[in-house]
């Protein structure tokens, strides 16, 4: 029998085939079909236009209004109302209103909705986040989501797989965000175009689940179809703690599976990374960015605002104060993360430092609300994209970093290594 990668095994199982090979076209059943307040209204319209009456499974269609929620204007309120009405009509199990809602790609794993071995599609490019749990997860268009809501299936071209091997000990303040930025900087924004990125190696084995989510989340920024990690005790513990209500299957790549390319990185040589405007691949070490003054810091998005991220940022900024010339906005990814941060005193640390703390929302990441940039302004952000105009005016600039660098930069008003802020401790 043909040896397969973990991505190929998941796709084969969901297509009802014994094996698949890169380049094969398949129809596969989906375990989760996800939409948000930007993409789902289009899918819902197409669902009805195609004659849809009932979704294929009311437990597998998930709607999360998180991009412009809480609603910033009448148009966004109308978008969210479409989701709300559809969820009520279809009796969807997984619809999350304000107060229960979180940023979708942090919320679904937290609620035990996505599990290892699942096939997940979402009308949002960062659906690839769930690969951290050993699931095949990828973004699709709204019409593909509509078709899946009707049929429970989606079509795929089986991707080739690039294997990324990381070894060595992570230096201080280097996390999953830095590994993925460094990798994208190495291969480019099209370096994994329609390929699976399989993350492995001794460093990955010791990496926290939060850092794995961050790495899988940004696979799309290298053009990848999906990013994926092997399931290990870290994964199983995470899933078990969330009381998953259904079974799951663990898939692993065969030892002699075929890869189109293998890349290796010695992480001990990597320092915190900064992605300069206007591409996630325009990366440099933080030591080469310390001359850049900033106006705003965002710690938020589906990429980097889980509890570990908040702890790292709070450790750096504790007892310090945000520069009077900088606006710092902290956006916990979910209600549970927000509550845990309060229990640990992290919210007080941010407030004492004169940062603003928001309810969960995607908000400024896509230039939605809660932190739009004016002409000529610069932001350090823990988000995933820094394209022209991504966070506001087309002549503004976004620099992508990890949470520790973001917090340090807020204190000194320029892009800063955390050591510069913590040196006196």
pLDDT digits (tens, 9 = 90+) for 193-230: 999 999 999 999 999 999 999 999 999 999 999 999 99
How much is the pLDDT for 202? 95
Residue 107 CA from chain centroid, whole number: 11
Neighbouring CB atoms inside 10 A of 267's CB total 20
Contact indicator for 275, 399 with CB cutoff of 8 Å: yes
Tally of CA atoms within 13 A in the half-sphere of 230 that contains its CB: 18
How much is the pLDDT for 124? 95
Per-residue pLDDT at 74 exceeds 70: yes
pLDDT digits (tens, 9 = 90+) for 391-405: 999 999 999 999 999
State how beta strands 273-275 and 283-285 pair: antiparallel
Contact indicator for 9, 135 with CB cutoff of 8 Å: no
Query: For residue 134, which phi and psi values (nearest 5 degrees)?
Result: 80, 25
How far is residue 63's CA from residue 84's CA, in Å, rounded to a whole number? 9
How far is residue 228's CA from residue 196's CA, in Å, rounded to a whole number? 7
* Rounded average pLDDT over 65-70: 92
* Rounded average pLDDT over 40-54: 96
Per-residue pLDDT at 275 exceeds 60: yes
How far is residue 167's CA from residue 263's CA, in Å, rounded to a whole number? 11
Contact indicator for 196, 226 with CB cutoff of 8 Å: yes
Strand runs labelled E in 300-371: 327-330, 356-357
Catalogue all structural domains in the chain, each as residue range(s) with its CATH number. Answer: 6-264 (3.30.499.10), 273-419 (3.30.499.10)
Query: For residue 357, which phi and psi values (nearest 5 degrees)?
Result: -120, 130
Contact indicator for 369, 331 with CB cutoff of 8 Å: no
Contact indicator for 226, 219 with CB cutoff of 8 Å: yes
How far is residue 57's CA from residue 92's CA, in Å, rounded to a whole number? 8
Structural tokens at position 396:
């503004």
How far is residue 170's CA from residue 304's CA, in Å, rounded to a whole number? 18
CA dihedral (27, 33, 39, 45) positive or negative: positive
pLDDT digits (tens, 9 = 90+) for 343-356: 999 999 999 999 99
Residue partners of 167: CB distance under 8 A and separation at least 6: 201, 202, 203, 264, 265, 266, 267
Peptide bond preceding 278 in cis form (omega within 30 of 0): yes
Q: For the chain, what's the residue count?
A: 425
How much is the pLDDT for 398? 97
Task: Quickly count helices (H) and strands (E) in the chain.
Answer: 14, 18
How much is the pLDDT for 1? 67
**Of 10, 12, 415, 404, whose CA–CA distance to 211 is shortest?**
404
**Confidence band for 424, pLDDT divided at 50, 70 and 90:** low
The SS3 of residue 320 is coil
Long-range contacts of the stretch 201-204 (C-beta < 8 A, 24+) = 201/164, 201/165, 201/166, 201/167, 201/264, 202/166, 202/167, 202/168, 203/166, 203/167, 203/168, 203/169, 203/170, 203/179, 203/267, 204/166, 204/229
CA dihedral (258, 261, 266, 272) positive or negative: negative
Instruction: Give pTM, 2 decimals.
Output: 0.94
Residue partners of 309: CB distance under 8 A and separation at least 6: 210, 214, 299, 382, 402, 403
pLDDT digits (tens, 9 = 90+) for 280-324: 999 999 999 988 999 999 999 999 999 999 999 999 999 999 999
* Rounded average pLDDT over 177-181: 97
pLDDT digits (tens, 9 = 90+) for 356-383: 999 999 999 898 899 999 999 999 999 9
In whole numbers, what is the pLDDT of the chain averaged over residues? Answer: 95
Per-residue pLDDT at 143 exceeds 90: yes
pLDDT digits (tens, 9 = 90+) for 105-118: 999 999 999 999 99
**Of 210, 184, 206, 207, whose CA–CA distance to 197 is shortest?**
184
How much is the pLDDT for 133? 97
């Amino acid at each position: 029998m043909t040896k397969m990668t973990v991505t190929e095994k998941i796709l084969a199982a969901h297509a009802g085939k014994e094996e698949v090979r890169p380049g094969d076209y398949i129809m596969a059943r989906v375990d989760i079909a996800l939409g948000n307040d930007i993409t789902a209204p289009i899918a819902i319209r197409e669902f009805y236009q195609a004659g849809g009456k009932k979704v294929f499974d009311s437990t597998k269609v998930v709607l999360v209004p998180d991009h412009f929620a809480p609603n910033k204007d009448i148009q966004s309120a109308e978008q969210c109302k479409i989701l709300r009405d559809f969820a009520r009509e279809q009796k969807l199990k997984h619809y999350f209103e304000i107060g229960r809602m979180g940023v979708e790609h942090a919320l679904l794993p937290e609620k035990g909705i996505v599990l290892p071995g699942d096939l997940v599609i979402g009308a949002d490019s960062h659906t690839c986040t769930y690969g951290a749990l050993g699931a095949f997860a990828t973004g699709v268009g709204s019409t593909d989501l509509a078709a899946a809501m009707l049929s429970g299936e989606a079509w795929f071209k089986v991707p080739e797989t690039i294997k990324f091997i990381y070894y060595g000990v992570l230096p201080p303040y280097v996390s999953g965000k830095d590994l993925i930025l460094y990798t994208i900087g190495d291969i480019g924004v099209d370096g994994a175009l329609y390929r699976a990125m399989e993350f492995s190696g001794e460093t990955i084995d010791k990496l926290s689940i939060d850092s794995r989510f961050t790495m899988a989340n940004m696979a799309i920024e290298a053009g990848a179809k999906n990013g994926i990690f092997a399931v290990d005790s870290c994964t199983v513990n995470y899933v078990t703690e969330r009381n998953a209500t259904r079974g799951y299957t663990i898939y692993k790549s065969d030892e002699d599976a075929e890869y189109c390319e293998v890349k290796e990185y010695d992480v001990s040589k990597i320092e915190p990374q900064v992605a300069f405007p206007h591409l996630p691949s325009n990366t440099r070490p933080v030591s080469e960015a310390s001359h850049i003054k900033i106006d705003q810091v965002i710690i938020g998005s589906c990429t980097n605002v889980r509890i570990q991220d908040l702890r790292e940022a709070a450790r750096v900024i504790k007892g310090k104060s945000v520069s009077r010339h900088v606006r710092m906005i902290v956006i916990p990814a979910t209600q549970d993360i927000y509550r845990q941060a309060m229990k640990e005193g992290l919210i007080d640390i941010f407030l004492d430092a004169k940062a603003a703390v928001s309810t969960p929302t995607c908000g400024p990441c896509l230039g939605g609300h809660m932190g739009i940039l004016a002409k000529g302004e610069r932001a350090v952000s823990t988000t995933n994209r820094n394209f022209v105009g991504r966070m506001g005016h087309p002549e503004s600039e976004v620099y992508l970093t990890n949470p520790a660098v973001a917090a340090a930069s807020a204190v000194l008003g320029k892009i800063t290594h955390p050591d510069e802020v913590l040196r006196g401790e």
